[in-house]
Structure 1
Amino acid sequence: MLDIRWIRDNPEKLDEALRSRGAEAESARLIALDEARRTHIAKLQEAQTRRNSASKEIGAAMAANDPAKAEALKAEVAEIKSFIQTGEATERELSEKLNDSLARLPNIPLDDVPVGADENDNVEVRRGGEKPAFDFQPKEHFELGEALGGMDFETGAKISGSRFTVLRGQIARLERALGQFMLDLHTGEHGYTEVQPPLLVRDEAAYGTDKLPKFADDLFRTTDGRWLIPTAEVPLTYTVADDILAQDALPIRMTALTACFRSEAGSAGRDTRGYLRQHQFYKVELVSITDADSSLDEHERMTECAEKVLEKLGLHFRTMVLCTGDMGFGARKTYDIEVWLPGQNAYREISSCSVCGDFQSRRMNARYRPDSDRDTRFVHTLNGSGVALGRALIAVMENYQNADGTIRVPDALKPYMGGIDVIGE
């Protein structure tokens, strides 16, 4: 959430940022809402001050044996009390309207984020690994998975509907191996603490991590009002809500392997075949909580940690900085890592690493106390995929396939595969 005081001082910067993200200018409307709220609060304060002084004047009038004045003052106090009661409800309505408007505003891009309309304006910053060479036409993952009996889309649909899949046998084990490998890498080499968070969260957690109110249609909700997490970013980041952290406790780095749930609202017709876009999937998430001065360096570090997963798996990838029009709602800057899928002959996103500044922490009231300052400041939050298991599974299957439809196990995963070197032999 953006600070209304910053908006009052920087209306043109806000509107320029919103336009760069494909949104309409909002500063005039927001400032008018804030002005109405502040004017009303001033009137309430004046009324409260007058009520207090009039109450004292009643006593003075009674002492002076002036009952007429005392009755007039009592009538005035009663009128003021009625105004205050009504006015306090109006103040709540005005504050809620302003806060709701602020909650729907996207974050402000950093100055070095390229301005653009959509994914076509994203900018490549580097590549890693080499594309594999095949002396046969590589297949897509769902062709390989179905032939091996390891990907059962029909049974998944029978059980739960479209965009659900049953994995079996060595393919199921391969996905599990990917998750264990990633957790071991991030905790053993990258300094993240493994966390096993709840998969159901309250409104406050979804709101605090900017998923509500804007993305309610993208989430699944239970009958008791909780939300299934779309990513472990939500519970991991919310662990510091309402906290005041010591600066020397930062950065806090957390990782989790969890199921994730997304309704995929608005994605009808996209990636309907295969395992690429599911309602339920698994992902290793990376979350960092930092002070204000360290977040940009932490963003580069987090992205490198995600890239290291693909490097160790021997996968070719490219890292893109997203333009303003393609960036996520809560991000100030985002790197997408796109892995090469030879079956599709295309790059597909496998990780997204974002720095959010204090956008989420204002909503969560998560703060730290600088070593040299008595005042608190809002922490900065970052999140990234380290990486999505389903898409990593697809990438391994397509990049390590053999002409006979079997799949070689990458060296990094062999310790987790119980002696299996080739799937399907």
Structure 2
Amino acid sequence: MNAPAQQGTPDRGPGPLKGIRVIDASTILAGPLCTQLLGDFGADVIKIEHPVAGDGMRGHGESKNGIPLWWKELSRNKRTIGLSLSDPEGAGLFRRMVREADVLVENFRPGTLERWGLGPDVLHALNPGLVIVRITGFGQSGPYASRAGFGTLAEAMSGFAHLTGEPDGPPTLPAFGLADTICGIAASSATTMALYHRDRDPERRGQVVDMSLIEPIMAAVGPGPTVYDQLGVVKQRHGNHSTNNAPRNTYRTSDGHWVAVSTSAQRIAERVLELVGHPEVVEEDWFATGHGRAAHADLLDELVGGWIADRTREKVITGFTEAGAAVAPVYDARDLVEDPHVRATGMLTTVEDEDFGPLLMHNVMWRMSGTPGGIRFTGRAQGADTDAVLAGELGLDPHKVAELRERKVVS
């Protein structure tokens, strides 16, 4: 069913990246998310898929009537063509496309593009201003460069899994593409930095961005290596507890819901304990710092959790809000769709889709007052724009396109 949400205007303006052409030769999340963000803010993105198998992202997530739903969002604002880069003629067409592009995003294993005659040296000889964003599990060099790299491996090696879960339980992996998502957002930032540098360079030189899946999530996990280097301390799992402050946990309400409480600021922690009827705890010496409170997390959980357990979620949130304390309900997808703040601010938006009609999806990720992004169209069918790009823009004879399609070089 189509859940209610704010009706978004598909295209609210040209966006800050209008005039930038991006070739997306990546698959399985980090690269496609990077190019989705670039497309959301005005870039002309041409999505290259394998002419027979299509893009692997089409097989990820749920489908409706055989049509993948995730694809509709992740490939929005992208024109799609089927093109075999491993075929000499396909590689030749790719080189022609690169001449007119500003950005290439790819995530093949290191050495693959070079093997096809499409390495950075070749592409920069054709287009010196091209920004080439190379996303891999472990980077383009080093002992692990040739290994298969996926987000799960980055979540494991970054320290994230080691720190996630209960103290007496196993390391825990996220139920979604966390490392890929963080990397995709980071890659979009790196891309715009490289474009900014190119446009300030008198020679308008592009560059290669070497982006690994593991480094962005390492940054998100925090300063564990620095702490180990200086103190010899290796942090361990603490469940929902924080080693930096308390109370910080999820707590169950009397009507069976869950809420999350955070007290990163000292005054917020004081308000929480005053709200739950224990102002005397605020006077304890250890309460004066986040680290001190974290050392007494079990006591604080008992006091805060007991108060919350006697009240409904609505009363808990009302009480915390009126006290100026920090609380949030633990939401599932239905809760998000129905939340008044999510609806009022347009975090989710409904756009028109050629297969499903009104389709709910995440809105553009941030708001820009002068050059807002927009959703011009949703993810398209495999090879939907092959003829328009190859015949209409590269000037290829339509009969030649038909011949290449017959040979499965294009789709």
Q: TM-score band (shorter)?
A: under 0.3
Higher RCO structure, 1 or 2 (CA under 8 Å, sep 6+): 2
Whose radius of gyration is greater, 1 or 2? 1
Larger strand share, 1 or 2: 1
